[in-house]
Amino acid sequence: MKINKESEITDGIKKFFKSYIGKTIGFIFILFFNISFFIVINFYTKYIPFTTDEIKRWLIFANISIFISILAQFLLVFLRGNLYRMPVEIIQDIGSLFSTAALRIIYPFNFSSRKWLDWMENIEFLDRVEERFQSANVNFWVKFSLLLVIIIICLGILIKVIKFITVIIRKI
């Protein structure tokens, strides 16, 4: 009997991440990312050349979303079964939705600012950056992309709510 090493490795990885220790390590990575993101957006946004002073208004929503994410991930490590996990995931997605919607509404970016263009001109492989950014209308496409992300998050929430309702109905 020939053993397929690739499938053994894949099965081992799947078992690891379904296990308690795999979830714990995943939680540690997510926690590290959330804390890193929290530090960057709260302390280093003034160094990002395309942000405006409006970023401070959005930081409240971002910080709440990060806090919800950390709390949700902590709970998900210990919760077993879809009946308990799904509401936590839905709440986490709603936090992401509000943060993304606030980012789209407040829109603390200005890609046509002189500061941004000067920064981009320092990158050697870009020629005539100012002309490219004016013609590309970057602000429009960023706003449009944020709108698409909001729609995708809403669809994800809707799907999770429907799945949660079906789990509740099956338990009855």
Which residues form the domain of 18?
A: 7-171
**Single pTM value for the model:** 0.75
- Tell me how many degrees the CA angle 154-156-161 measures, rounded to the nearest 5: 95
- Asked, for residue 28, whether it belongs to a domain, the answer is yes
At residue 79, φ and ψ (nearest 5 deg) are -80, 140
Q: What is the pLDDT of residue 125?
A: 52
The domain total for the chain is 1
Identify which has the larger pLDDT, 138 or 70: 70
User: For the segment 91-109, what is each residue's pLDDT rounded down to a tens digit?
Assistant: 999 999 999 999 999 998 8
- Asked, for residue 124, whether it belongs to a domain, the answer is yes
Q: Is the pLDDT of residue 60 over 90?
A: yes
- Asked, for residue 1, whether it belongs to a domain, the answer is no
- Asked, for residue 2, whether it belongs to a domain, the answer is no
- Asked, for residue 42, whether it belongs to a domain, the answer is yes
CA distance 113 to 135: 14
